[in-house]
Amino acid sequence: MKTLQSYIGRSVSLAILGVTFLLVTLDLLFALLAELEELRASYQLWQAVQFVGMTAPRRLYEMMPTGTLLGCLVALGALANNSELVVMRAAGVSLLQILWATLRPVLLVALVGFAIGEYVAPYTEQIAQSSRSVALGSGKALHSRFGVWHREGSEYIHVNAVEPSGRLFDVTRFRFDDSGRLVQASHAHTALYQGDHWYLEGVDVTEIGQREARSSRFDSLTWYTSLTPGLLTLLTMDAEDLSVTGLWRYANYLSSQGLDGAPYFLAFWNKLLQPLMMCAMVFIAISYVFGPLRQVTMGLRILAGVVTGLMLRYFEELTGTAALVYHFPTLLAALVPVVVGMAIGLFALRRSG
């Protein structure tokens, strides 16, 4: 039995790796083609290639659930077409044993995927996004479509880009009084974090009075704020691109500031439950091979897998959006697609077993 488990596991592992590599390669190619539209004097082809390359870990992490489903369909479908699964079942190998032999490499892939999503993808994604923002938007401040906004108390802050070292580019701040009137606007070309404060360089400050505005220019200023480089790093990235620990930390920070942290809590639960979603994909793949798609061609199995993966993905997005709109628990929104996927797979497995 150990030999059969190793054989099934090796077949599944190679198929998952091959399919995931193909999906990521296609995704990178389409991303590069889309990036070519952004080329200009400050952003050349080599920079676009570097940007797309640095996003590869994030794309790999995102493709793993779909790659797992299609890889299992390809591997088990090939075994079924060669009548190897029939021989195994005739030899007394149960469906549960085949399921476990398939799940073992998937659990390993899920563990590797979690490590990539936690330690590799957030770092490379930040480098990619900050470098791109600097190249495309540096010096344009509020006129740039890059960067992020943040509110802290009565102050609204726009940061164009954040380097992994914690250096900021084009920091614009607007301060309002208790009546909501703008009283000060400032722009700093760069900012460096030093101990418990930011050291601003090249600062233009405009004080706005009741009847007139007064502008001043400073070579440097000190800025005290609760925004640390770590928090700003989280702020400048999409929720889906952050690590699990980063999502939890930033979501709680937003809640402490009286802001809406629900999108980050939702992304946190989705990432935490991704290994379970991958297991659900395995159940569905095996039920397809032993059930309604037992006698069909490999192409039709792959098409069914793609459709199933897309349906689960859209259902996950639907429940997430509903949670944000109707304010029900984000954990429930992340858990429902996983439970539905597992229920469908287990029900189909029971019927085909």
Report pLDDT digits (tens) over 333-348.
999 999 998 888 787 7
pLDDT for the residue numbered 296: 65
C-alpha distances in Å from residue 22, one per residue of 237, 297, 311, 340: 26, 20, 21, 28
Nearest to 112 by CA among 68, 178, 173, 160: 68
Please state, as a whole number, how many other Cβ atoms lie within 10 Å of the Cβ of residue 2: 7
- CA-CA-CA-CA dihedral for 116, 120, 126, 132, to nearest 10: -90
* C-alpha 255, offset from chain centre: 21
The closest of 275, 299, 295 to 74, measured between CA atoms, is 299
The predicted structure's pLDDT at residue 353: 57
Least confident window among 27-36, 83-92, 171-180, 241-250: 83-92
Instruction: For 22-65, write each residue's pLDDT tens digit.
Output: 999 999 999 999 999 888 887 899 999 999 999 999 999 999 98
- Mean residue pLDDT of the chain comes to 85
Top mean-pLDDT range of 87-91, 279-283, 336-340, 344-348: 336-340
Percent of the chain residues past pLDDT 70, beyond the cut = 93
Q: Phi, psi at residue 260, to the nearest 5°?
A: -80, 110
Q: What is the pLDDT of residue 302?
A: 74
Sorting pLDDT into bands at 50, 70 and 90, what band is 95? confident
Task: Give the whole-angstrom CA distance, residue 32 versus residue 251.
Answer: 32
Rounded to 10 deg, the angle between the 45-54 and 2-35 helix axes is: 150
Instruction: Judge whether residue 221 has pLDDT over 70.
Output: yes
121 vs 254, more confident: 121
pLDDT score for 5? 81
- 254 neighbors 266 (Cβ within 8 angstroms): no
Distance of CA 206 to the CA centre of its chain: 39
Looking at residue 149, its pLDDT comes to: 83
Pairwise CA distance, residues 136 & 138, whole Å = 6
Whether the predicted pLDDT of 246 surpasses 80: yes
Query: What is the model's pLDDT at position 143?
Result: 42
Tell me how far CA of residue 199 lies from CA of 80, 168, 224, in angstroms: 65, 10, 9
Residues 186-198: what's their mean pLDDT?
90
pLDDT value for 270: 92
List, in sequence order, every beta strand (DSSP E) within the chain.
148-152, 155-162, 168-176, 182-194, 197-208, 213-223
Compute the residue count for the chain.
353
157 contacts 169 by C-beta, under 8 angstroms: no
What's the confidence (pLDDT) of residue 142?
A: 44
What order of strands is seen across the sheet that includes strand 155-162?
148-152, 155-162, 168-176, 182-194, 197-208, 213-223
Is residue 190 within 8 Å of residue 169, measured between CB atoms?
yes
pLDDT: is 275 or 195 the higher one? 275
Residue 293 has pLDDT above 60, yes or no: no
Please state the domain extents for the chain: 2-136+262-352, 148-235
Lowest mean pLDDT among 5-19, 231-245, 330-344: 231-245
The model's pLDDT over 314-330, given as tens digits with 9 standing for 90+, comes to: 899 999 999 999 999 99
Q: Is the Cβ–Cβ distance between 180 and 196 less than 8 Å?
A: no
Cα atoms in the Cβ-side hemisphere of radius 13 Å centred on 51? 22
d(CA 166, CA 317): 32
- Residue 134, amino acid: V
Determine the pLDDT at residue 141: 45
What pLDDT score does 164 carry?
A: 67
Instruction: State mean pLDDT over 156-183.
Output: 86
202 pLDDT exceeds 70?
A: yes
Q: 9, 103 in Cβ contact below 8 A? A: no
Mean pLDDT of 276-287: 85
